[in-house]
Amino acid sequence: MSDAPTVHPPAFAVRDAVARAIAEDLTPLGDLTASLVDPTASVRAAIVARSAGVIAGRACATEAFAQIDATIAVDWRVDDGVRAEQGGVVGVVAGSLSAVLTAERTALNFLGHLSGIATLTRRYVDAVAGTDVRILDTRKTTPGLRALEKAAVRAGGGHNHRGSLSEMVLVKDNHRAGLDIAEAVKRAVAAWPGRTIEVECDSLTQVSEAVGAGAHIVMLDNFAPGDVSAAVAAVGGRALVEVSGRVSLDTVGEYAAAGPDLISVGALTHSAPVLDLGLDLDLEV
């Protein structure tokens, strides 16, 4: 797991993702409609939360405006990781009217998508408040946007599981074709000493095998809450216990009460609804 100290994504990931999005929008002839606007006109506009939620993705929105016109100014009123109320002004944009209009959709697409992830993550985090459980994301991310989406999870108060296949060893059932758990862990230790080793388990027997072999984390795959409690007792603190599968907002509290250390939720990134944000022109902001 990688618990980065900031809610902001790496700058290179922001630049690359935004550049691809703008190229997609402007190919091949640019913004035909914005070309009809008076090129000397300026605008001051507010980014407004149409519904309440946790903000994430400001860096992407700022970059979208900057890549269209570096003179556009963006004044953020709500930080990443902070809740915006319905109707609240999240930021103020000022600059060329045609440039602002060209960048608007790209900026709002990133901001709405990433804020949606942060908002859903916060709901899961709030649902396990009072326990020591950490809510994790997974690698079920939008191709090319992983660094941005994982930053949004952090903005929502969650934690990141591995960001790439090279960060840790995670032995799943498909890796064990013709290979038992003990041998898989032994090979992992020999090949990658010092790396975290996690083993996916679908039974209490496999949990015991994984812990006995020296796994650092056991992932309980699709366990019922009662079976999670039994697995936690069997592990006895010798490894971290992660719950994965069958977890929803309706069940996460019950799973947390069973005593695991970690709960991973793929829905944080693959099913989060977009937070509705809009750009309102000529407002008193």
Please give the positions annotated as active site: 105, 140, 172, 200, 221
Are the beta carbons of 243 and 220 closer than 8 angstroms? yes
Nearest to 199 by CA among 157, 233, 238, 248: 238
Token pair 């022109």: residue: 281
In eight-state DSSP terms, residue 73 is: E
CA angle in degrees (0–180, nearest 5) for 267-209-253: 30
Residues 6 or more apart whose CB falls under 8 angstroms from that of 59 comprise 8, 9, 11, 14, 80
Peptide bond into 28 cis (omega under 30): yes
Distance CA 155, CA 136 (A): 12
Strand partners, 149: none
Between CA 225 and CA 50 the distance in angstroms is 37
String of DSSP letters for 249-277: TTTHHHHHHT--SEEE-THHHHSPPPP-E
Which CB contacts under 8 angstroms, 24+ apart, belong to 161-167? Answer: 161/1, 161/2, 161/136, 161/137, 161/264, 162/1, 162/2, 163/2, 163/139, 167/2
